[in-house]
Amino acid sequence: GAGVSQSPSNKVTEKGKDVELRCDPISGHTALYWYRQSLGQGLEFLIYFQGNSAPDKSGLPSDRFSAERTGGSVSTLTIQRTQQEDSAVYLCASSTQGEGYNEQFFGPGTRLTVL
């Protein structure tokens, strides 16, 4: 079946502009996660959705970052007034929900470049 998909695959924007990144999780996966992969910082957790609610937003780096999920499926990560330090690969993952650990399946990522 289809895996996690993300769009766009690449996004180049100018400093100060807003961007929206999209994630389509695996069908039936109720949990969805956003991570950021930047040079020198490795992979950092941003936010976790369980259904449409986000019980853990602790990783969002500033109030310029927000995310939503509707219909328990697609999620969008929005970055307002982008800065050069926002340049990174943004990864989305999804998993089933249940007792203990449920394997997270990752999408290919969106590479964001802020000029």
Partner 1 sequence: GNSVTQMEGPVTLSEEAFLTINCTYTATGYPSLFWYVQYPGEGLQLLLKATKADDKGSNKGFEATYRKETTSFHLEKGSVQVSDSAVYFCALISRNSGYSTLTFGKGTMLLVSP
User: What's the burial of 76, exposed, middle or buried (CB within 10 Å: 0-12/13-18/19+)?
Assistant: middle
Q: Which of positions 32-51 make contact with partner 1 (CB under 8 A)?
A: 33, 35, 40-45, 48, 50
Looking at the DSSP bridge assignments, the partners of residue 37 are 43, 89
In the list 82, 109, 112, 114, the residue contacting partner 1 (rule: CB under 8 A) is 109
Query: Which residue stretch of 11-19, 28-36, 62-70, 75-83 sits at the interface with partner 1 (rule: CB under 8 A)?
Result: 28-36
Residue 102 interacts with partner 1 (CB under 8 A)?
yes
- C-alpha to C-alpha distance for 54 and 61, rounded to whole angstroms: 15
Question: Nearest-CA neighbor of 19 among 11, 30, 27, 29?
Answer: 11
Question: Nearest-CA neighbor of 22 among 84, 82, 91, 80?
Answer: 91
Nearer to partner 1, 35 or 65 (CB): 35
In the list 7, 72, 106, 111, the residue contacting partner 1 (rule: CB under 8 A) is 106
Contact set with partner 1 (CB under 8 A): 3-4, 31, 33, 35, 40-45, 48, 50, 55-56, 59, 91, 93, 100-104, 106-109
